Structure 1
């Protein structure tokens, strides 16, 4: 299986930092030129596009031979990803607003967008924890990097490219590593997990009110600062930028880790809702939209998926339809079963349960059924 390892670069001088930033700008300007040529002449095959723009990238944008090749591959990969998303319906139907924004114009790269480097222009010295890297100002022989011990173990099995990323004034290197995937054993059951509320069929609620209060606090704080229109307010907004996203990602990592640890300890698998396209399918009241669109459904599902694969725990994705309306005891399904958002009362057998606990038990039952019949289990691609 493949994992992503991230290390933070620590340029020893302002000159080194400026050289890295200038390299990103030059590569992305060159990528915009190559993208324009690829779009206007319909040249999305790598060898054909490279033949057209290679010498221009070297002469006009001060790139070396190998960086120019990496830029061309970056552009071709971007167009391949765009076509794949269109075929899969991820940008909507033909004529939709999102698709019209993506199709009629060439792909544009930000000046600080990530740039891939291969081993000819960037190498890892894991013993000294430094990286020699090519820049438009010449090759910098030693740039220190820092990372955790776990990431160092992952970097030992690194293969392929490394991406240089500039984020909030800091430089990072992101590399893809390969690990052997443990064999998945037959589970004796599936605890269901409702990603909407982070509750399980075992009755455990791992997030919810506390996380919602944190998000509401940040929304109120942003609105308060945005109304001031002062320099200090703008500095505060910049300082708070991405803090909520980092907190959410950390919370989702913790939830996913707990799910996998519980399933592995009890020799069970994990059953999750397939929430692909939920933001397009669900119509929420105005006062609930912010909470619905703040929850990173795909992120927590992805975290649980790769952590489970590392631990040898099977994961299945089930159809979420009527999981909140169906009784987990007698299987009676009716809209009136959900008395309130938190209270479930079955109109047939009279069972009284917490709505989230009932929904997660339904997910667990469906997960067992999916596993037993051997159906392919993966998140479906939205067609909306």
Structure 2
């Protein structure tokens, strides 16, 4: 199982200057390579390398490994774009958003992340130091800081590439670690149902939007921290009580859910995957079974009598059954339905379906700048 450990670099001014120049050169070269790939319709790594490798090295002063990573990063960006277009994440074919994404070359920001392999980056984990390649030569004795758990994971399981990231003037390395999975040791006695709720922004004034944009990264980090804490608590509770975890299969929910126009932007920016990914990888690491269930009508079904009615959902927060009269918190009722469906699937012989993290995700590290509001997540057991 791949996890990503984030460490913060403690740079001297001259070291920060060298890394800043390196990111700028790599991303300028990647943008140039992207234009070549777009104009000649060459998106294959080896084919694009034949067209750009020598000039990238000579023009931007890149080393052999750096030039190869720049070209591979460019090809990966086009592969990701193609996958998003195919999945409909950028609108329907012919739409303005689709054309805007498809009719121009991919461009890289000056401070976009740059991958490093072990030839370009050397770790001295016990001394908390790294040696890193830059366009000005090798920069040695770069200090970093991380928690004890992160250091232990690095020492035992670090393998593969690391990404150099600059965010808000701070520098980080995101190191890939191959952590062994723990198979479930026993059959679960039951399941915890997790209902992922959405708390939409209420104020939609220009001043609220400006403040939200100004604080977006801080809020994203806060939301991610909350998601990690929720996921850790859910997995720990399931492990302690010998239960599995049930999650909704939210694939395609953006296409299924219809919202009023003022809510669409907030809904589209809500990452349905983040909390689920956090729970999934923590469950796999702890050996806790995980089952995904069909979320259809879980918010309209009474967990007591099974009656399904749209009118049962009297508000965002409350559920009132039109048949048996039971009144409950809507998320708690939904989580009980999720738990019941998971238990029924498991009884029929379903196996744990905790998926591997999608290619390019960073479940244990910084990740991408898309977050969810997780304050509405609820857990249900057969006792609730």
TM-score after normalising by structure 1: 0.84
SS at match of 2:121: coil
CA distance in 2: counterparts of 1:69 and 1:143, whole angstroms: 24
What residue number does 1:39 align with? Answer: 38
Query: By how many angstroms is 1:183 displaced?
Result: 0.7
For residues 311-342 of structure 1, give each alpha carbon's deviation from its aligned partner in whole angstroms, at most 9, with x where no partner exists.
11111222211111111122221112223333
Contact kept? 2:280, 2:354, Cα under 8 Å = no
1:180 Cα deviation after fit: 0.9
Residues 90 and 97, structure 2, Cα contact 8 Å, conserved in 1 = yes
* Equivalent position SS for 2:282: helix
CA contact 2:307–2:323 (8 Å) conserved in 1: yes
Structure 2 SS opposite 1:191: strand
What are structure 2's unaligned runs of at least 5 residues? 359-384
Return 50-59 or 271-280, whichever deviates more.
271-280
- 365-374 vs 263-272, greater mean Cα deviation: 365-374
Q: 1:178 matched to which residue of 2?
A: 178
Deviations 1:35-58 (A, max 9, x none): 111111122222211111111001
Matched, 1:363 2:338: yes
Question: Equivalent of 1:308, from 251, 271, 283?
Answer: 283
Partner of residue 188, structure 2: 187
Q: For each residue in 1:138-184, what CA deviation from the matched residue of structure 2 results, as whole angstroms up to 9, or x when unmatched?
A: 11121111111111112122111111101001111111101110012
CA deviations on 1:18-48 (whole Å, 9 max, x unpaired) are: 1100000000011111111111112222221
Worse-matched range after superposition: 317-326 or 293-302: 293-302
| Match among 316, 319, 338 for residue 294 of structure 2 | 319
Higher mean displacement: 316-325 or 364-373 = 364-373
Deviation at 1:224, TM superposition (A): 6.4
Query: Equivalent residue for 2:369?
Result: none
State whether residues 196 and 297 of structure 1, in contact with CA within 8 Å, keep that contact through their aligned partners in structure 2.
no
Q: Which position in structure 1 is the counterpart of 2:325? A: 350
Q: Relative to 1, partners in 2 of residues 1:225 and 1:54: Cα closer, same or farther, differing over 3 Å?
A: closer
Change (3 A) 1:117 1:270: same
Q: How does 1:206-217 map to 2 (within 5 A)?
A: none
Preserved contact between residue 326 and residue 362 of structure 1 (Cα < 8 Å): yes
Change over 3 Å in CA distance of 1:226–1:368 after alignment to 2: closer
Distance of aligned partners of 1:109 and 1:195 in 2 relative to their CA distance in 1, 3 Å threshold: same
Q: Counterpart in 2 of 1:149?
A: 148
- For the 8 Å contact 1:345–1:351, the answer to whether it is kept is yes
Question: Where in structure 2 are the equivalents of 1:9-158 lying within 5 Å?
Answer: 9-12=9-12, 14-156=13-155, 157-158=157-158
Partner in structure 2 of residue 298 of structure 1: 273
CA deviation digits over 1:355-379, x for unaligned, max 9? 2221111111111223333278478
> Aligned in 2, Cα 1:167/1:134: closer, same or farther, shift over 3 Å?
same
- Partners of 2:243 and 2:96 in 1: CA distance: 43
Distance 1:291 1:91 in 2: 16
Q: Is the 8 A contact 1:252 1:300 kept in 2?
A: yes
Misfit runs of 4+, over 6 Å:
none
Query: Quick check: 2:193–2:337 contact (8 Å CA) kept in 1?
Result: yes
Alpha-carbon shift at residue 253 of structure 1 (Å):
1.3
Residue 129 and residue 191 in structure 1: after superposition, are their counterparts in 2 closer, same or farther (change >3 A)? same
Distance 1:114 1:127 in 2: 25
Q: TM-score of the superposition, structure 2-length normalised?
A: 0.84
- Aligned residue pairs total 353
